[in-house]
């Protein structure tokens, strides 16, 4: 009897996410014929693009046994910064992208230094940076969002505008079908997957997360690898902010707050993918799509937003149960 239960448990832990994904598709497609339409599927992918990119950044920190709570604030700050560069400073879209990427890199390195040099626990360090960024992004505009024609704190009117190139990042489509943001998401997921799974640097990062002391004894510079993980997280968050800014054509204060929970949920759900029991980019991407399909299906069924939050919370708790169940089995 115990052997049957153990086999059932092993199958559930290994293939549970895939089974849930298939069941989700069957249930929602049966309830609404539009669920599996090409248009709706691309809507889902476009909706989860930013969440997936942020989740991939979180995954990089989870690989080294860390955690980044500042990723949502970094994304919203990059969104505000890109708008400020073009609308207030009247610079080009390329300049805005470059400045945002540098900003994300600086935030990530700062997180890493606070954690590995100052010995501040990762949750506390990134929580502090999250609050710092939440306040910092409001200072230049006096707490206002940024759009074309925004009145600045000194009473002047911002005369710049979003460039067509910058707006095409999220609004453009390849072959008039596939949103550019989806292409960016796929490329970034593929890039970090290759880096983590097939490069020496990525394998050492997994070693650091698995057993930091053993990695040190093997000669790895643990601090550098941890800082690298947080740098990746910061850059990915800034890319997410750029896409958000391009999508809405403005800089919205605090817009990344809700993204934190979704990106963390996607990363943790990715833990359970194929029973790997560890952070992995491919599983994170699947986790983001899983959440996107879930919320989209519930929306098509006219489910109230508060019920959606409850269901999303239940899914996250189940993902945690599966994740730690896998860890305890190892």
- Residue-wise pLDDT tens digits, 24-41: 888 888 888 888 888 888
Spatial CB neighbours of 324, under 8 Å, sequence gap ≥ 6: none
- State the pLDDT at residue 326: 55
> Which residues have C-beta within 8 Å of that of residue 312, sequence separation ≥ 6?
261, 262, 265, 291, 294, 295
CB 53 within 8 A of CB 236: yes
Instruction: Tell me what pLDDT residue 74 has.
Output: 95
Predicted local confidence at residue 122, as pLDDT: 94
Quick one: pLDDT at residue 128?
A: 95
Low pLDDT (below 50) residues in the chain: none
Q: In a 10 Å sphere around its CB, with 0-12 CB exposed, 13-18 middle and 19+ buried, how is residue 149 labelled?
A: exposed
Q: What's the pLDDT score for residue 174?
A: 87
pTM for this model (two decimals): 0.90
What pLDDT was estimated at residue 8? 63
């Amino acid at each position: 009897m115990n052997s049957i239960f153990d086999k059932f448990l092993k199958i559930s832990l290994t293939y549970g996410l895939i089974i849930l994904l298939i069941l989700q598709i069957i249930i929602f497609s049966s309830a609404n014929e539009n669920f599996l339409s090409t248009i709706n599927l691309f809507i889902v992918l476009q909706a989860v693009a930013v969440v997936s990119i942020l989740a991939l950044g979180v995954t990089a920190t989870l690989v080294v046994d860390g955690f980044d709570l500042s990723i949502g604030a970094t994304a919203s700050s990059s969104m505000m910064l890109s708008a400020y560069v073009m609308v207030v400073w009247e610079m080009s879209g390329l300049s805005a992208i470059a400045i945002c990427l540098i900003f994300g890199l600086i935030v990530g390195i700062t997180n890493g230094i606070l954690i590995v040099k100052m010995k501040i626990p990762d949750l506390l360090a990134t929580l502090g940076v999250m609050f710092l960024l939440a306040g910092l992004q409001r200072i230049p505009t006096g707490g206002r969002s940024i759009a074309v024609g925004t009145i600045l704190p000194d009473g002047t009117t911002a005369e710049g505008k979003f460039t067509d190139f910058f707006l095409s990042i999220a609004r453009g489509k390849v072959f008039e079908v596939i949103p550019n943001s989806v292409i960016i998401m796929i490329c970034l997921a593929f890039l970090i997957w290759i880096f983590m799974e097939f490069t020496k640097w990525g394998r050492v990062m997994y070693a650091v997360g698995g057993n930091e002391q053993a990695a040190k004894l093997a000669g790895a510079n643990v601090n550098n690898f941890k800082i690298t993980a947080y740098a990746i997280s910061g850059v990915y968050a800034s890319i997410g902010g750029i896409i958000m800014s391009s999508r809405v054509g403005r800089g919205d204060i605090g817009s990344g707050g809700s993204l934190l929970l979704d990106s963390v949920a996607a990363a943790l759900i990715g833990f359970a993918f194929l029973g790997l029991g560890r952070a992995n980019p491919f599983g994170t991407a699947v986790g983001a799509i899983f959440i996107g399909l879930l919320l989209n299906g519930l929306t098509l069924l006219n489910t109230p937003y508060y019920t959606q939050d409850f269901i999303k919370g239940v899914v996250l708790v189940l993902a945690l149960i599966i994740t730690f169940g896998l860890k305890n089995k190892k």
